Structure 1
């Protein structure tokens, strides 16, 4: 028994004057943002791992179009993830990826100014060092978890070593997406945007490690991209960016657009309601018109891959997918169930889902 557990004088807020306690909601907001950030990164990596598995099972027989040499070789290895910056967010992200995706320790590397303090990860076998160029030249996905003041110099340092197929995923909210694009001279970037209420719900598992909190069904439902529960809302453009990032991955592997659509449907629409068996026509399915304009479709040769998409433009502007996504409640419902299934939880009893085979993620 912990004799000090309920001792008021040891609580964080004990010495805070009553007139300043209003600001304690920021503590809950900070915790909620870290939980949401780690949950969405785990979900993203799970889907990308699944896509890469399918690509390995279905290698391309289509010649790659002429283009930059960095698109010429398909990478059939496991997803390689790098983290730049390993403070509070970076450490919790690393733990979450290792435990919940799970990313093998050989597929995770961390670049930090103080690698000597990352003993926890080094004991597990994770390579920890201070060499950002080495990291981005190796990784398929790079998570930016550094301070805003550090980001400009990091971007200048790594921009020449970024492969076009690498996805840069930024948690540095103080640097806007257009600014980040300019700093990196790069377009394959994802940046989730969160909108916070003034008084977020206290459901974020304050006494749990983040990775443990992400195994709590209540918390997972609160982190769902379509859920306002918890007082923190994720911009739906993030989901849009994920889909176009998946298409870029297919393009990098020389996959014809028809096959790419099939693979994206397998990954993103792999979990269905039981009603879908009875009403198959109403079950959502991605089509080419959801991602490119009608004029482009007319000129798209049958066996050609999709074009290379600018992910920053996808997240900042309207796309062919934007209107479809916002208006299609069935699609949102299916993506919600996919999110729940990725964490091993189910919706309410009246909305039970049907996975194709066993759990797909």
Structure 2
């Protein structure tokens, strides 16, 4: 005889039942934490995918289709580090061996290491081998971590920081590195939208929902979260720097970036407005290397372009949706 569970959907046993009225006013912090984790991981994976796609185009340009490998380093194996690694594994067909995690307790990552992700405690090894390094450590650990790795980062290694409490300029000083992206989020509590972040406790599962994916869209976030739009400019300048590091002329660089986003928007002066800059009529000239710290703390030509050009924003959004389309299919 089948027994009925009388506790199912019983409000008195729910999480909120034992909270005082004052404590209930703080419930929005759960949505804030979940929203930051979901959006932060999604945006980080999106940046990786843009780098991967551009690396593929650069390799084809140089006649070397095999050189498309990008090594991912995740420094920190706590909640965010684990969720980020799982999203990397679920959002594309990348090989687990392309992902390395350095954490003080690698033995806690058995679920991830068993499928081929390299998990160990060696920050220097991680920094030396990473094309993209994701910082997922507590702010209190950051000074020591930066001291460990700053002499071992290649100049074109992109450092992507989840450590929100440490200002970007401070992080750049600690790392002695300026190829850094650090998203800045704001959260406004709103009962009718913030609950979408609590649909699942796994990022990859949450992003299968159209509502969650739409809420995380970098250029039009909702659900109470807002992303500083200079993040988009920094990502685009990072791609530009990638072409400069490959010694690709400005003409071909613009061609590849327009192809990547399926647009015709980008011109030389979309990125550079200095009168002393290289002549845009000389397509073999390299773009100057752009400090991503400046791109996130100052107004740039791209800041205005992204703000006023809806067509470009739509192209970026389509590419963002495409990155996670296989999650919905899985």
**TM-score (structure 2 length as normaliser):** 0.91
User: How many Å separate the matches in 2 of 1:60 and 1:313?
Assistant: 34
Tell me how far 1:344 sits from its aligned partner. Answer: 2.3
Matching residue within 151, 162, 167 for 1:160: 151
Matching residue within 302, 309, 320 for 2:301: 320
Q: Verify the 8 A CA contact 2:229 2:303 in the aligned structure 1.
A: no
Deviations 1:25-46 (A, max 9, x none): 1011111111101111121111
1:335 and 2:295 are equivalent in the alignment: no
Matching residue within 73, 77, 83 for 1:82: 73
Q: Where does residue 257 of structure 1 map in the other structure?
A: 250
Tell me how far 1:198 sits from its aligned partner. Answer: 2.4
Tell me how far 1:172 sits from its aligned partner. Answer: 0.3
Q: Where does residue 107 of structure 1 map in the other structure?
A: 98
Deviations 1:174-206 (A, max 9, x none): 001011011111100000111110235211243
Count matched residues: 319
Tell me how far 1:91 sits from its aligned partner. Answer: 0.5
> Aligned pair in 2 of structure 1 residues 88, 181: CA closer, same or farther (>3 Å)?
same
Q: Which runs of 5+ in 1 are unaligned?
A: 62-74, 271-282, 346-361
Q: Where does residue 150 of structure 1 map in the other structure?
A: 141
* SS of structure 1 residue aligned to 2:34: helix
Q: Verify the 8 A CA contact 2:269 2:301 in the aligned structure 1.
A: yes
Q: Which runs of 5+ in 2 are unaligned?
A: none
Matching residue within 202, 215, 227 for 1:209: 202
User: How many Å separate the matches in 2 of 1:258 and 1:25?
Assistant: 49
> Aligned pair in 2 of structure 1 residues 298, 52: CA closer, same or farther (>3 Å)?
closer
* SS of structure 2 residue aligned to 1:150: helix
1:57 and 2:56 are equivalent in the alignment: no
> Aligned pair in 2 of structure 1 residues 237, 5: CA closer, same or farther (>3 Å)?
farther
Q: Verify the 8 A CA contact 1:45 1:101 in the aligned structure 2.
A: no
* SS of structure 2 residue aligned to 1:137: helix
Deviations 1:127-169 (A, max 9, x none): 1000001001001000000001001110111100010010000
Q: Where does residue 234 of structure 2 map in the other structure?
A: 241
Deviations 1:209-260 (A, max 9, x none): 2111112111111101122420101111111111111111111111111111
* SS of structure 1 residue aligned to 2:119: strand
Q: Verify the 8 A CA contact 2:258 2:264 in the aligned structure 1.
A: no
**TM-score (structure 1 length as normaliser):** 0.83
* SS of structure 2 residue aligned to 1:149: helix
> Aligned pair in 2 of structure 1 residues 168, 206: CA closer, same or farther (>3 Å)?
same
Tell me how far 1:60 sits from its aligned partner. Answer: 7.7
User: How many Å separate the matches in 2 of 1:246 and 1:36?
Assistant: 21
